[in-house]
Amino acid sequence: MKKRIIWLSLALVVGQASHAFAQGATDALRYSRLQFGGPARTLGIGGANVALGADFGNLTSNPAGLGMYQKSEVHFTPGIGVGRSEARIEGNTLGAQSEDKNSLHVASGGLVFTTRRPDSDESTNWRAGSFGIGFTRLADFNTASRYTGQLTDRTVNGRIVSGDNQSYLASLRGLGSQGYFDDLRAQGKSGDYTTEDGLAYGAYLTSIFKTRRPGATGQDSVGSRVRRGPIGQSEFISSKGSMSQFDLGYGASYRDRLYLGIGIGIVTSNFTRVREFTETETDPTTHLANYTLYDQLKTTGSGLNARLGAIYRATDALRVGASIQTPTFMRLSDTYNSSITTTFSAQGTDIVSPSLPAGPIGTTSVEGLYPPYSYTLTTPFRANGGVAYTLSKHGFVTGDVEYVGYGQARLHNDSQDPNGDTRSFSAENSDIQARYKDAVNVRLGAEGRFDVFRVRLGYARYGDPYKSDSKGERAQNFFTGGLGLRQGNFFLDAAAVYTSFNQLYTPYTLGNGLQPVVKVDNNRFTTSLTAGITF
pLDDT tens series, the chain, 535 aa? 333 343 433 333 332 333 345 789 999 999 999 999 999 999 999 999 999 999 999 999 999 999 999 999 999 999 999 999 999 988 775 667 899 999 999 999 999 999 999 988 888 999 999 999 999 999 999 999 999 988 888 888 888 888 888 999 988 888 778 888 888 889 988 989 988 889 998 888 888 877 665 544 567 888 877 788 789 999 999 999 999 999 999 999 999 999 999 999 999 999 999 999 999 988 888 888 899 999 999 999 999 999 999 999 999 999 999 999 999 999 999 999 999 999 887 666 655 434 444 556 788 899 998 899 999 999 999 999 999 999 989 999 999 999 999 999 999 999 999 999 999 999 999 999 999 999 999 999 999 999 999 999 999 999 999 998 656 678 999 999 999 999 999 999 999 999 998 888 889 888 888 888 899 999 999 999 999 999 9
Does a structural domain hold residue 3?
no
* Contact assessment for residue 230 and residue 283, using Cβ atoms and an 8 Å cutoff: no
Q: In terms of residue numbers, what domain contains 56?
A: 25-534
Q: What is the pLDDT of residue 97?
A: 87
Work out the angle at residue 147's Cα, subtended by the Cα atoms of residues 348 and 157, and round it to the nearest 5 degrees: 70
CA atoms within 13 A on the CB side of 146: 9
Pinpoint the alpha helices (H) of 191-324.
196-202
pTM: 0.88
Work out the angle at residue 277's Cα, subtended by the Cα atoms of residues 276 and 280, and round it to the nearest 5 degrees: 130
Taking each continuous run of H as one helix and of E as one strand, the counts in the chain are 6, 23
Which string of DSSP letters, residue by residue, matches 69-131?
-SS-EEEEEEEEEEEEEEEEETT-SSPPEEEEEEEEEEEEEEEEEEEE--TT--S-SEEEEEE
Integer angstrom CA distances of residue 143 from 87, 236, 275, 522: 12, 11, 12, 8
Q: What is the pLDDT of residue 360?
A: 66
Does a structural domain hold residue 112?
yes
Does a structural domain hold residue 111?
yes
Does a structural domain hold residue 60?
yes
Q: What is the pLDDT of residue 210?
A: 73
Q: Max Cα separation, the chain? A: 101
As to burial, measured by CB atoms within 10 angstroms (0-12 exposed, 13-18 middle, 19+ buried), residue 154 is middle
Question: Which CATH number characterizes residue 415's domain?
Answer: 2.40.160.60
Does a structural domain hold residue 10?
no
Does a structural domain hold residue 1?
no
Strand 97-116 with 362-367, pairing: unpaired
Integer angstrom CA distances of residue 169 from 102, 125, 233, 454: 34, 72, 12, 59
Q: What is the pLDDT of residue 351?
A: 52
Separation CA 355–CA 436 (nearest Å)? 44
List all residues 6 or more positions away from 189 whose beta carbon is below 8 Å from its beta carbon: none
Does a structural domain hold residue 51?
yes
Q: What is the pLDDT of residue 17?
A: 31
Q: What is the pLDDT of residue 397?
A: 98
Number of structural domains, the chain?
A: 1
Q: What is the pLDDT of residue 356?
A: 47
Could you tell me which of 33, 31, 30, 26 has the C-alpha nearest to residue 11? 26
Does a structural domain hold residue 7?
no
